[in-house]
Amino acid sequence: MIPLSVLDLSPVPEGSNAGDSLRASAALAAHAEALGYHRFWMAEHHSMPGIASAATAVALAHVAHSTSTIRLGAGGIMLPNHSPLQVAEQFGTLAALHPGRIDLGLGRAPGTDQAAAFAMRRSMSGDANDFPRDVVELLRYFAPPSDPPARVRAIPGEGLEVPLWILGSSTYGASLAAQLGLPYAFASHFAPDMLDEALHVYRRDFRASQWLDKPHVMLGLNVFAADTDEEGALLATSLDQAFVALATGNPGKLKAPLANYRETIPERFRASLDDRLTCAAIGSPATVRARVEAFVERTQADELMITAQIFDPVARQHSYTLLAQCWDAPLSTKG
């Protein structure tokens, strides 16, 4: 069986706050580590009341203190929001404190709306070439020291060779990852439309590099595992509500599950939810396992990154437990 990992947005449920959510994320990471999950990644989003992981490197530092072996990383850092040097220093610091455990996934979207993006960058004048250049600059900061030393160095960071991943939801990231010979993570958990095309581009155009000798793909997958199919479907209505709130320009905290929720919304939203949740496994352990296996068989993924936007932190942990238990072989913890 391929490795399974955790993507955690540190959701903020209604009636809760960011501190509670970050503590729940640390508890989930420790739980995932005990179950044998391979990686625990957190994502950068801004100006979102329902997501507490905006300061991703800081959140990962908090999680690291509750774990000891699971790989930790960003899924991802939205590179246009930052200077490559600052990112290298932040993740170099994490790697110095937790050797051999830190990953860095990179995306080119801002992870927010235009107003918040402007508030972070103070400029929207970047061009399409900025992201590839910034990725290459980051790779250089993590490389071993040169002789003579470079004028600008990431300290900590230099020589730590933090693994970089390219994230994407289109063929752009797939093409860049292939050209640079880097692993590729596709956001199929919320933007599945171009999955097959992106996989084709990445595998077709991949060039072996010092970091990777063959293509390596990790795919996002929503999993809502519960004791019964009905309970799993109910848990998933929290994500349904979050998608609709985002689509209508009203993002908020994660809402409690709501029975028969889809019957209360217009048909256009039901169709949109069906599309967004093409890459999902929802239901009892047997149902979830069958759907996860079918997804892996269809895509030939090398790893899966499992996300579960579940209102109750206890139910969220239980979902990951059920998935681990219904997976035949022990989950990999190597590499």
The answer to whether residue 332 is domain-embedded is no
Question: pLDDT tens digit string along 148-173?
Answer: 999 999 999 999 989 999 999 999 99
CA–CA distance, 148 with 150 (Å, rounded to integer): 7
User: Residue 167: which of 115, 241, 103, 119 has the closest Cα?
Assistant: 103
The pLDDT-based confidence of 109 (bands split at 50, 70, 90) is confident
| pLDDT for the residue 113 | 63
Question: pLDDT tens digit string along 188-227?
Answer: 999 999 999 999 999 999 999 999 999 999 999 999 999 9
Reply yes or no on whether the pLDDT at 114 is more than 60: yes
Reply yes or no on whether the pLDDT at 259 is more than 60: yes
Average the pLDDT over 110-133 and give the result: 66
Highest mean pLDDT among 63-72, 74-83, 114-123, 274-283: 63-72
| pLDDT for the residue 276 | 86
Query: Which of 265-286 are b and which e, b meaning 16 or more Cβ less than 10 Å from the residue's Cβ?
Result: eeeebeebbeebbebbbbbbbe
Average the pLDDT over 11-38 and give the result: 97
Contacts of 13 (CB under 8 A, 6+ apart): 21, 253, 254, 255, 256, 311, 312, 313
The answer to whether residue 298 is domain-embedded is yes
Please give the model's pTM, rounded to 2 decimal places.
0.93
The answer to whether residue 218 is domain-embedded is yes
Question: pLDDT tens digit string along 69-87?
Answer: 999 999 989 998 899 999 9
The answer to whether residue 28 is domain-embedded is yes
The pLDDT-based confidence of 117 (bands split at 50, 70, 90) is low
Average the pLDDT over 116-124 and give the result: 63
The answer to whether residue 231 is domain-embedded is yes
| pLDDT for the residue 111 | 52
Percent of the chain with pLDDT over 90: 85
The answer to whether residue 98 is domain-embedded is yes
Reply yes or no on whether the pLDDT at 139 is more than 60: yes
Contacts of 157 (CB under 8 A, 6+ apart): 88, 89, 91, 92, 93, 95, 141, 142
| pLDDT for the residue 265 | 93
| pLDDT for the residue 284 | 97
Reply yes or no on whether the pLDDT at 319 is more than 70: yes
Taking all residues of the chain, what is their mean pLDDT, rounded to a whole number?
A: 92
Reply yes or no on whether the pLDDT at 334 is more than 50: no
Tell me how many domains the chain contains. 1
Alpha helix segments (H runs only) across the chain = 18-35, 56-64, 84-97, 114-121, 130-142, 171-180, 195-205, 229-247, 267-276, 285-299, 313-326
Average the pLDDT over 13-41 and give the result: 98
The pLDDT-based confidence of 10 (bands split at 50, 70, 90) is very high
| pLDDT for the residue 14 | 97
The pLDDT-based confidence of 106 (bands split at 50, 70, 90) is very high
The answer to whether residue 68 is domain-embedded is yes
The answer to whether residue 179 is domain-embedded is yes
The enclosing domain of 170 has a CATH number of 3.20.20.30
Domain that holds residue 195: 4-326
- Greater confidence (107 vs 116) lies with 107
- Greater confidence (185 vs 127) lies with 185
Contacts of 324 (CB under 8 A, 6+ apart): 4, 35, 36, 37, 331
